[in-house]
């Protein structure tokens, strides 16, 4: 499949699938964390921001790779980028 950093179509599709699966797993973990934190009365601001940013990241990848539409505005994308990367 892979040799010297190159990736054929099958490898590329596998990487896409694994990336989407990883983001979905991250979303589930953040949703569980948010639920537990809400029940315990903890501050949930950061978890909510991260969860929203990962939702947006997943939507963007699905848009690019699978042509699924998303309804996020440019400002939402900038905020998600800042939460995840800055």
Confidence band for 4, pLDDT divided at 50, 70 and 90: low
- Please count the structural domains in the chain: 1
Which pLDDT does position 3 carry in this prediction?
53
Q: Which domain holds residue 58?
A: 2-85
d(CA 80, CA 51): 9
Which pLDDT does position 7 carry in this prediction?
87
State mean pLDDT over 8-24: 93
State mean pLDDT over 1-9: 69
Which pLDDT does position 6 carry in this prediction?
82
d(CA 60, CA 71): 10
């Amino acid at each position: 499949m892979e040799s010297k950093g190159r990736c054929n179509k099958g490898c590329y599709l596998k990487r896409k699938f694994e990336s989407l699966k990883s983001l979905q797993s991250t979303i589930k973990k953040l949703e569980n964390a948010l639920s537990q934190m809400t029940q315990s009365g903890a501050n949930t601001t950061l978890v909510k921001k991260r969860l929203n940013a990962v939702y947006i990241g997943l939507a963007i990848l699905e848009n690019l790779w699978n042509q699924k539409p998303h309804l996020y505005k440019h400002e939402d994308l900038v905020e998600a980028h800042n939460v995840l990367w800055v």
